[in-house]
Amino acid sequence: MERLAVGIHADGEALLKAFPGAVALCDLEGDTLIVNNALIVLTGAHPGGMVAKHVTELFAREFRPAIDEALAKVAMGHRVKDIRAGCLTSHGTTIPVSLALSLLEPAEGGTQLAVVSIRDSTREEQLAGELNRTQSESESLLAELDEAYQQLRRAQDEQVRKERLSVSGELAASVAHEIRNPLAVIGMSIQYLHSKLSPGHAFRQCTSAIVKKVKQLDEITTQLIDYGRPRKLELEARDLHRNLNQVLCLAKSKCLAQQVKIIKRFDRGPSKVICDHHLMNQVFTNLVMNALQAMSKRGVLTVETQFDLQKNQAVIHIGDTGCGIPPSVQAQLCKPFFTTKHNGTGLGLAISHRIIDHHHGSLTYTSKTRGRQRGTTFTIKIPITPPEEKSPTG
């Protein structure tokens, strides 16, 4: 132990010798009087270089104001603990430490002194760092597990959706086949009766209405059969922009009538896609007609394409600035036979979904009913070249 030659009570020195931790004894002005061996070992400094210095000089500069403030509190009779600081060593490095300062009551007639207890907190900081890393890794792992769970749940939901579509499609097709034959007989019979009635006959208006309704029912049964029957794709490599231009050309007159502006943002790269272009035309037509029906007067119809050869993916966006799809409807939108249209069958989007499914793609949408971004955008993603079928093993 090194001490400054001042009148310090022998009990104080004995206390410092007995204390296992690093301790410095200083007056209330902060001048160091005694340092014990534990502090000398901790810092590796020569004792003579520590005694007679201001106690704050034992620590890195940025911690000194806090230690001065603690000394002032000790002088007022308070005990201060858990002050974080960096203790200087003989090698010019700092050791993370925790300080506790208290008043040493003097013997009768003695001088009040401050005891500065210094605890090495290197291990604590290492443990805290390890704990933070472990916590960060745990949070990252939990996030990955959550994302994996969400992906699994989406995959399960998609599988359930496809199975339901398959079952409902088979049922719809079988019912439609049963209906079609008697409906054909009814249609031919009513057309025959209609042809036998004179133009002014009272029943001719009724037979005309029946002919129209039979024709409408025949269209519905055709849609049901198309929805339910397995699709054999007629694959062909062709420019997908050609399909979109054909559909937009057919819709041009309706756009002019509704004062709807058409915006095309076609990717300038290679746009050939191997797919069933007849079926893709059916999907594009359905989505474009739905977009126009959502815009009663004026609006913007946007058709955008992107082709990513690295991902082997063609992306088609068909958007409108219409009224948007209410949240209460969105959950039901792609279910077969659900429709908000007066004369709709609820099969247009369901059939489109099945066509895209057969192409190993996806059909999604976003929709807003308010604000500047009001409207609906459908997004189709299909492979540019079809994925290779896995050969059976075993």
Is the pTM higher than 0.75? The answer reads: no
Asked if 56 and 173 sit in the same domain, the reply is: no
Predicted pLDDT of residue 347: 73
Structural domain boundaries enclosing 288 = 233-385
Predicted pLDDT of residue 392: 40
Backbone phi, psi, residue 73, to 5°: -70, -40
Asked, for residue 394, whether it belongs to a domain, the answer is: no
In the block, residue with structure tokens 């792992």: 141
Predicted pLDDT of residue 20: 72
At 387, list the tokens: 């994925």
- As for how many domains the chain has, the answer is 3
**Beta sheet of 362-368, edge-to-edge order:** 260-265, 299-308, 313-319, 375-383, 362-368
Supply the CATH number for residue 21's domain: 3.30.450.20
Asked, for residue 392, whether it belongs to a domain, the answer is: no
At 46, list the tokens: 């020569």
Predicted pLDDT of residue 182: 83
Asked if 183 and 101 sit in the same domain, the reply is: no
Asked if 277 and 375 sit in the same domain, the reply is: yes
Asked if 191 and 282 sit in the same domain, the reply is: no
Asked if 205 and 302 sit in the same domain, the reply is: no
Sequence-distant (6+) residues with CB within 8 A of 124 are 96, 98
Asked, for residue 393, whether it belongs to a domain, the answer is: no
pLDDT along the chain (394 residues), means of 10: 48 64 89 87 80 89 93 91 90 89 76 88 81 87 88 79 68 71 84 84 85 81 68 87 93 91 90 91 92 87 93 94 82 63 67 87 89 89 79 40
Given 230, 252, 279, which residue is the final one in a domain? 230
Asked, for residue 390, whether it belongs to a domain, the answer is: no
Predicted pLDDT of residue 393: 42
Amino acid (one-letter) located at 340: T
Predicted pLDDT of residue 63: 93
Predicted pLDDT of residue 349: 83
Asked if 212 and 293 sit in the same domain, the reply is: no
